[in-house]
Amino acid sequence: MISEEEARNRILQDIRPLPPRRISLKCALNCFAAEGYLARLPLPGFDNSAMDGYAVVASSCGPSKRLRVVGEQPAGADRQLRVSFGEAVRIFTGAPLPAGADAVIMQEDVTREGVEITVKTDVHPGDYVRRRACDLSEGQKILTKGERIRPTILALLASQGLAEVMVGGEASAGIISTGDELARPGEKLQAGQIYESNSVLLEALLQRCGVNERSVEQCPDDPGALIAAFKRGVQHHVLLINGGVSVGEHDFVKSAMQSLGGEIDIWRVAIKPGKPFLYGRVGKCIVFGLPGNPVSAFVTFLQFVRPAILKMMGGADDEFRLQTVPARLTVDLQNGGDRAHYIRGKLGNGCFTPVGRQESHALFGLSQSNALLRLAPGTEIKHDTAVDVEIWD
């Protein structure tokens, strides 16, 4: 059995990014930039006013000084006005600064009578002027290849006049939930059955990775049905099969994959929860076999599937890992086993507290958690110790 770190590294080495595509900014939120971008326009693009007021020559101003208003410059078309000593141009926020002006006086700091204003304050060169390129210079890096496109990055790209951006390819994914015991939510539950909850969990997690093209199937523990479902599922870039990956007489995923000529690269990983895990491919489709237990499916998705999908979609290395946050552990924990244990818990006020039963079927505890603490094999951590936890919410 390999460690979960080795498994993740092997998977990431195997995954190739999909071909990039050019899409409109409207659709690019959370995609990864497929190339670096440099500013082609400075910000601001020209000297302009930061206030509604009067553009002036600072040296002609001061308390009680009177100035003659010689024109008006609203935001929009540049009227090519000029201001000389003793003059003012009525100006508005974002309007181009008239030639000769080196400061703006806020309208609250003058009194106006007809075409004359009386200044009430001291005025210094540069007051309320936003200089060309003071925020961003031409040629400055604005987006790095593999960086996630956040709302503010979208705004920055738009400010450069770009309507489209090159982003990583979009992965499509299939989900097959296996098990004779599974009933669909909404159906009547028979004795011995449980409601199927993994597909909705995995779909939501895929959605968060930016995978919008998805299909979901439910399949009984029957080799023929599983092979048929497999054939449909491998049309996607990625196929997630959950349940039936273990070694029981009703676990057919491995054999179905082999009978389709698939290759299994990884089977079983030293991670708790999540030991029955499979990674391989059928044709061009990347196949993940995830455990049926909901907490195991969740943890293995975050540790193995998410990084693979993000890499496929063009994410840079530092985007693969879940965000880690320092926290103080509130209880003593130990892991006497030989698998890394991912403890589910709540991070709040800088403290991490395990939540609920730390068992792979315990969905309620998982639902109340927002963080994972990795406890390496053979370690013990005392309460009050500083730890790093991984967060997903």
196 scored as a contact of ligand AMP (CB under 6 A): yes
**Edge-to-edge strand list for the sheet holding 87-91:** 103-106, 53-56, 87-91, 66-73, 116-119, 110-113
243 scored as a contact of Mg ion (CB under 5 A): yes
Distances (CA, A) of 148 to 49, 101, 143, 280: 33, 41, 9, 27
Separate counts of helices (H) and strands (E) for the chain: 9, 29
Task: Pick the closest to residue 306 from 315, 341, 31 (CA basis).
Answer: 315
How many Å apart are CA 216 and CA 196, to the nearest integer?
A: 12
The 3-state DSSP composition of the chain as helix, strand, coil percent (nearest 5) reads 20, 35, 45
Binding mask 265-294 for Mg ion (x = CB under 5 A): ---------------------------x--
Helices (H), 235-360: 253-259, 294-300, 306-312, 317-320
159 scored as a contact of ligand AMP (CB under 6 A): no
Among 243, 262, 274, 289, binds ligand AMP (CB under 6 A): 243
Pairing of strands 182-183, 194-195: parallel
Among 44, 179, 233, 354, binds Mg ion (CB under 5 A): 179
Number of other CB atoms surrounding residue 156 within 10 Å? 18
Among 242, 335, 353, 369, binds ligand AMP (CB under 6 A): 242
303 binds, among ligand AMP, Mg ion, none (CB under 5 to 8 A by kind): none
How many Å apart are CA 391 and CA 307, to the nearest integer?
A: 14
Q: Measured from the CB of residue 286, what is the shortest distance to Mg ion in angstroms?
A: 22
Which range in 35-43, 56-64, 288-296, 369-377 contacts ligand AMP by CB under 6 A?
288-296
Which 3 state secondary structure label does DSSP give 92?
A: coil
Q: Which is nearer to ligand AMP, 250 or 328 (CB)?
A: 250
Among 179, 210, 280, 307, binds ligand AMP (CB under 6 A): 179
Structure-block tokens of residue 203: 């779909």
Q: Which residues contact 3 (CB under 8 A, 6 or more apart)?
A: 269, 270, 271, 340
Binding mask 17-56 for Mg ion (x = CB under 5 A): ----------------------------------------
How many Å apart are CA 290 and CA 301, to the nearest integer?
A: 8
390 scored as a contact of ligand AMP (CB under 6 A): no
Binding mask 352-381 for ligand AMP (x = CB under 6 A): ---------x--------------------
- CA triple 344-345-351, angle to 5 deg: 145
Among 60, 177, 300, 335, binds ligand AMP (CB under 6 A): 177
Q: Measured from the CB of residue 187, what is the shortest distance to ligand AMP in angstroms?
A: 13
Q: Which is nearer to ligand AMP, 57 or 202 (CB)?
A: 202
Position closest to ligand AMP via CB? 292
Among 210, 289, 292, 307, binds ligand AMP (CB under 6 A): 292
Site for ligand AMP in 57-96 (CB under 6 A): none
Q: Measured from the CB of residue 256, what is the shortest distance to Mg ion in angstroms?
A: 13
Q: Measured from the CB of residue 361, what is the shortest distance to ligand AMP in angstroms?
A: 6
Interface residues with ligand AMP (CB under 6 A)?
A: 177, 179, 181-182, 194, 196-198, 242-246, 291-294, 361
Interface residues with Mg ion (CB under 5 A)?
A: 179, 243-244, 292
